[in-house]
Amino acid sequence: MAGNGASADGYFALQSSREQRGLHVAVIMDGNGRWAARRGLPRVAGHRAGVAAVRRVVERAPELGIETLTVYAFSSDNWRRPAFEVRSILSLIGGYLRLERSTLREAGVRVEAIGRRDRLPRILLREIAQCEAATAGGGGLHLRVAVDYSSREAMARAAARAFAGVGPWASDAEQFPSPDAARRAMAEVLREEGGDVDLLIRTGGEKRLSDFLLWESAYAELVFTDVMWPEFGAAELDAAVEEFLGRERRFGGVVERIENAASPQRAQSSQRERGWVYPVEAPTHLIEPTQVEGGLAGGTADLGGGR
């Protein structure tokens, strides 16, 4: 399927009122240790093999219309692992940033590390800073590397930033933000850091989010694969994006059907061939129940939660 399954053209939905944007794909790179164990190798060998998988995915991603790629390299909970494994993983992250820096810059990739930095080794902090500086002008893929990352902690930091000056967000009744104002403020801060996730992929056969981009993945399509991360490459990324393109994203609403609107452009993607249109971003406003005339009496409301 590699090379001819999904395409950049296949992602963009038909939206006259919205600016087209590329996909934000997040990846939980799981299965390195099990991949190594099955081959009688130390766990660190699996992490080394996983670095090659990162290279393959970063190279393929722009060809699929992926604008932002966020990879889960080291979670805040990973500090619980044996000290040797922790040092090895952090060393591999630093080595990747150092060795790939020139290649990434030439490819127009902009690298950004997300997560805590106060607990990282100084040598890794130096590699992060140098790679971010060297690739800052990249106008292509935005590669976000999550290191010492916890989504719960990220949301707490976002809340602290959003409400540092509580006054503008406060409701009339009290000096704390109303729920709607709080949601808007949080969304604004987190959007600055990377925006909503469209597709979240987890390799290795597990089916959980593991404290990764929880807010940003509220309406993400989830793809779980049994393929271990060291074996993940262009073909597997193509398959995940193709599955994404075959799904209908409703964001809790109703998808509008376009009749008699066939065109050569629409035929370029599976979404267009079906004639479906959906928003490329989650809705930023909600309709209040009081705005629905007549309530549910005599109506034909669809009570399904939707995707």
Active-site annotation, residues: 30, 78
Kindly compute the dihedral angle of the four CA atoms of residues 203, 208, 212, 214, in this order, to the nearest 10 degrees.
Answer: 130
Helix, coil or strand: residue 95: helix
Six-digit token string for 163: 């409400």
Ramachandran assignment for 302, one of left (phi > 0), alpha (psi -120 to 50 degrees), beta (any other):
beta
Q: Is 137 exposed, middle or buried (0-12, 13-18, 19+ CB in 10 A)?
A: exposed
Residue 296 carries which side chain, given as an amino acid letter?
L
CB burial class (10 A; 0-12, 13-18, 19+) of residue 78?
middle
Quote the CA–CA distance of 228 and 30 in Å, as a whole number. 7
Sign of the torsion formed by the C-alpha atoms of 118, 121, 126 and 129? negative
The Cβ-side half-sphere exposure at 273, using a 13 Å CA radius, reads 9
Tell me, letter by letter, the H, E, C secondary structure of 232-255: CCHHHHHHHHHHHHCCCCCCCCCC
β-bridge mates for residue 257, sequence order: 276
Tally Cβ neighbours within 10 Å of residue 282.
Answer: 15
**Cβ proximity of 71 and 145 under 8 Å:** yes
